[in-house]
């Protein structure tokens, strides 16, 4: 069975500092995708970044980068130069080559950026 | 470009009633998925539809049903509502259905069952 684990229920970070949000996963699928989504208080899930299991390089999107360590089954999100608007819930998610191709989400990490 | 849209944004129902939630995918996207997110948890997969056919179903009772229309929009129906059905219902669309497809989410429908 597939599983996503986010061990940090909440984090407080000073504005402009970098922050790392942890995510580990478990799957028996040889091919899978890993995602990070941001959910502000409005509720909408905002796609941030995607990493394919066969991608050789870590994904980057602006201030977001994904530290993908396949052997350790970890996919940590790094946010550089944090901003007040980064305060939100962050979800790590995975999709595997199952019949239904559903996305499995972790329980999330609530990030608070302090001015 | 319009993103995924959902209606209504908020809904209050009483136990035993039924509810219909609607979703319009991003233009050109053929796959729609539904998720339930209860307070304090990550979203849980309910259904995925692709080209008007059900591709997957999560661990939800038969009170939950869905369909996809020829224009790729979708409806989620929940019958005999229970208090525990109170949640944020999220719709996501992707161009196709597959393990490399990014799903883009709508703003959700907040359902409160009294």
Q: pLDDT tens digits, residue range B64-87?
A: 999 999 999 999 999 999 999 999
Please give, rounded to a whole number of angstroms, the shortest distance from the CA of A17 to a CA of chain B: 26
Q: How far is CA B29 from CA A15, B1, B70, B93, in A?
A: 37, 13, 12, 6
Sign, CA torsion A61/A17/A53/B92: negative
A115 at the B interface (CB within 8 A)? no
Q: Beta strand pairing status for A109-114 and A10-14?
A: parallel
**Chain A residues in contact with B35 (beta carbon < 8 A):** 103
Question: Hey, which residues 56-95 in chain B have their CB within 8 Å of chain A?
Answer: 56-58, 88, 90, 92
For residues A34 and A59, the answer to whether their CB atoms sit within 8 Å is: no
Instruction: Give the pairing of strands B87-94 and B31-37.
Output: antiparallel
Please, which pLDDT band fits residue A111 given cuts at 50, 70 and 90?
Answer: very high
Look over chain B and give the mean of its residue pLDDT values, rounded to a whole number: 93
Taking residues B6-16, what's their average pLDDT? 96
In angstroms, the CA A46 to CA A24 distance is 20
State mean pLDDT over B102-109: 92
Per-residue pLDDT of A55-110, as tens digits, reads: 889 999 999 999 999 999 999 999 999 999 999 999 999 987 655 567 899 999 99
A37:B105 CB<8 A:
yes
The answer to whether the CB of B58 falls within 8 A of the CB of B45 is yes
Name chain A contacts of B55, Cβ cutoff 8 Å: 99-101
């Amino acid at each position: 069975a597939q599983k996503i684990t986010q061990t940090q229920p909440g984090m407080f970070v000073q504005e402009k500092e970098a922050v790392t949000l942890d995510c580990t996963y478990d799957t028996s699928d040889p091919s899978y995708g890993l995602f990070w989504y941001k959910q502000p208080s409005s509720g909408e899930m905002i796609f941030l970044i995607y990493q394919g299991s066969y991608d050789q390089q870590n994904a980057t999107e602006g201030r977001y980068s994904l530290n993908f360590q396949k052997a350790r089954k970890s996919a940590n999100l790094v946010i550089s130069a944090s901003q007040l608007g980064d305060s939100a819930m962050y979800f790590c998610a995975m999709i595997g080559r199952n019949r239904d191709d559903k996305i499995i989400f972790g329980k999330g990490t609530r990030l608070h950026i302090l001015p | 470009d319009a993103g995924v849209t959902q209606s209504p944004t908020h809904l209050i129902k009483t136990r035993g009633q039924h509810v219909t939630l609607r979703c319009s995918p991003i233009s050109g996207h053929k796959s729609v998925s539904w998720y339930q997110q209860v307070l304090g948890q990550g979203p849980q997969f309910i259904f995925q539809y692709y080209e008007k056919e059900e591709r997957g179903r999560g661990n939800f009772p038969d009170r939950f049903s869905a369909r996809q229309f020829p224009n790729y929009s979708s409806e989620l129906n929940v019958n005999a509502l229970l208090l525990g059905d109170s949640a944020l219902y999220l719709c996501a669309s992707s161009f196709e259905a597959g393990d490399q497809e990014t799903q883009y989410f709508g703003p959700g429908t907040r359902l409160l069952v009294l």
